[in-house]
Structure formats: C-alpha cells, structure tokens
Amino acid sequence: MRDLDEFTVTDETLSQMANTPNPRFKEIADAAVRHLHAFARDVNLTPEEWIQGIQFMTAVGQACTPLRQEFILLSDVLGLSAVVNALHDKKARELGSQSSLLGPFFREGVELTPAGTQIVEKPTVPEIVVYGKVTGNDGAPIPNALVQVWQTSERGHYDLQERNGESMDMRGTFLTDADGNYHFRTVRPLGYSIPMDGPVGAMVFAQKRHGMRPSHIHCLIGAEGHRELVTALYFGDDPYIDSDTVFGVSESLVVDSKEDPNSPIPGLRAVHYDFRLAKAAPGESGRVGADPTKLMKAAE
Ligand code: BEZ
Ligand code: FE
C-alpha cells in the first residue's frame, strides 16, 4: 500500500472498503470510487479545479434551505434525475403512465378539496379545467385515488417564490370518484426559469443554457396496491417544449387545452388526461425527490 499512483490508488481504496457489510451500499460506493477516479484521470483534474469543485459543492449545500433544494436542482440540470426516473420506469411490473420530475417545489400537507375546486386563489386569466380518469393498467377505474397537483401561476412563479412559503397556492389535493374520475379548475401556468440566483444557476449561465422549463402541471397520484406515479402534463405549444433544462418532457405527457364537449365544466377550455397506475411492488414509490422542508429536517 505504498508508492501508489493514479491507477493503483483506485484498487487500494476499493480494497479498504471491501468489508462493507451492506451489499448495496458497497456496490454503490465501489462504483462511485471507480467512476470518480476515472473521471479525474480522464480530465487530468488539477488541484485548482479540484478545489473549485469542492467550493461549488459547498455553495450548493449552503444554498439549501427548508424552501429550496439546490442539490435536487443540480441533479435535475445534469440530467441525473431524468436518468433515475427512466431506470425506475423500466422496473415497473406493468406499464403505467410515464413519469416526470417531482422538482424542488413539491409540498406535502395540501388540504383535500372537492372535485372541481379552483386551485388558484386569484386567477387573473381565463380558467381551464383539467379532468380525466385514474385507472389500473388493465383500464379498470381506481376509486379514491389521491391526486395531488401543483403548478406555477400565470406569471410563472410557484407559491414558494411568490409568497415565500408563508401560505400555499396553486396546489390541490383531490380524490377520484367511484368511477375513477378527477377534475379541478386552474389557470394555464406559465413556463418559467429554474432558480438561477444560486450556484446551479451560475453553472447553467456558464454553459450558455436558457434555464427554462416549458409550461406544466405536476401530478402525484397514489392508490392502494399501485405504484405512486410522479408525473407532469406539459403544454405542447410552449416555446421551450423541446429544450426543457431538466429533461422532464415525454411525448405521452404533452397536452393541450381545448374546447371539449365532454368537459365536466362546460364553457371552460379543458385538458383531458387519463392516468394509468402500475401495480406496486411492496414498498415501492415513484418519487425522485421530496418536500425540501422534510429533507432539511432529516439532515439536522
Ligand atoms: C419543477 O418542475 O418544478 C422543476 C423541476 C426541476 C428544476 C426546477 C423546477
Ligand atoms: Fe415545475
């Protein structure tokens, strides 16, 4: 274990970690060491660049607050969250609706309201209705599925940004009826820039990226015996629909609001989307993310 060079130090590190009792932790830590060492050799990492990297990660941690998760944002803009989502979808025992990013603006504890409730406190643009069915993969309706939705305002801000987390808006929690139907009123959200005033934003600027997400409504859907679905509906005519900074858009999640004779609220333009939930493996969740407040508490 003396006279190590940039190659042999990798084997030596792995051998010191060889007795890790938890096999999954060992697999992940071993791979992290192998890839990190290979990365440093690949780019011939200098001491200045290494310390810059450490400073960057320190700044990412320092930017985290109960209302802001800069590490999730970093994972998102590097495409890592999209990779984890895709891997997770591949494991589904049956095919359900496609998933998308939970993002850093999810909040728990939004009160349950009756179907048809307007989720925006003071809409200043025409209302729309979002409706559809929640079914299993066999098409059988799922009654009492919990449908949680959250979105930006018509100005492109989440409540955490407009109200500093002091009260909730543009969020709703609903239960499907006996036929698996849900519907709620909202307004069309505006596409928005991811938070660019922190270290992740500085990186995105340095890469000459626009930092925008196309207009979307987040949906988190859960039902007994089914895999929780984290997804979002994306408005197809948004200028950023094909260049989402965090790689969340899939063709099957693209929607449009239109006049619709079947709309549960006649007179309002409607977005119609049916969600399919896959059967659950025990203890399985589709969340690639968490309420930032909870992450902060867990870290204390
Ligand atoms: C969001 O959709 O809320 C989001 C996702 C990733 C980064 C920033 C925002
Ligand atoms: Fe979002």
Ligand 1 centre to CA of 269 (Å) is: 25
Extended beta strands in the chain, E state? 127-136, 146-151, 171-175, 181-187, 192-193, 212-213, 216-222, 229-235, 254-255, 269-272, 275-277
Here the tokens at position 197 are 């005033």
pTM of the model: 0.89
3-state DSSP assignment of residue 1: coil
State the pLDDT at residue 174: 98
DSSP single-letter state for residue 163: S
Is pLDDT at 283 greater than 70 in this prediction?
no
Which amino acids are annotated catalytic?
A: 158, 192, 213, 216, 218
Q: What is the DSSP letter of 114?
A: -
- Mind listing the pLDDT tens digit for each residue in 57-67? 999 999 999 88
Tell me the pLDDT tens digit for each residue of 213-242: 999 999 999 998 888 899 999 999 999 999
Quote the crossing angle between the two packed helices 47-62 and 70-77, to the nearest 10°: 130
Cβ atoms of 273 and 233 closer than 8 Å: yes
Ligand 1 pocket mutation, candidates 105, 107, 148, 162, criterion most atoms within 8 A of CB: 105
HSE of 3, CA atoms in CB hemisphere, 13 A: 0
The token pair that represents 36 in the structure block: 């990190």
| Structure confidence at residue 171 as a pLDDT band (50, 70, 90) | very high
Distance 194 CA to ligand 1 centre (A): 6
Quote the tokens at residue 217: 């409504």
pLDDT per residue as tens digits for the range 83-137 = 998 888 887 767 789 999 988 888 889 999 999 999 999 999 999 999 999 999 9
For residue range 237-274, what is the model confidence (pLDDT) as tens digits?
Answer: 999 999 999 999 999 999 999 999 999 999 999 999 99
pLDDT tops 90 at residue 292: no
* Structure-token pair, residue 227: 């895999």
Look at residue 104 in the predicted model and tell me its pLDDT.
82
For residue 295, pLDDT beyond 80: no
Residue 252 CB burial class (10 angstroms; 0-12, 13-18, ≥19): exposed
Closest to 146 in 3D by CA, of 226, 252, 236, 220: 220
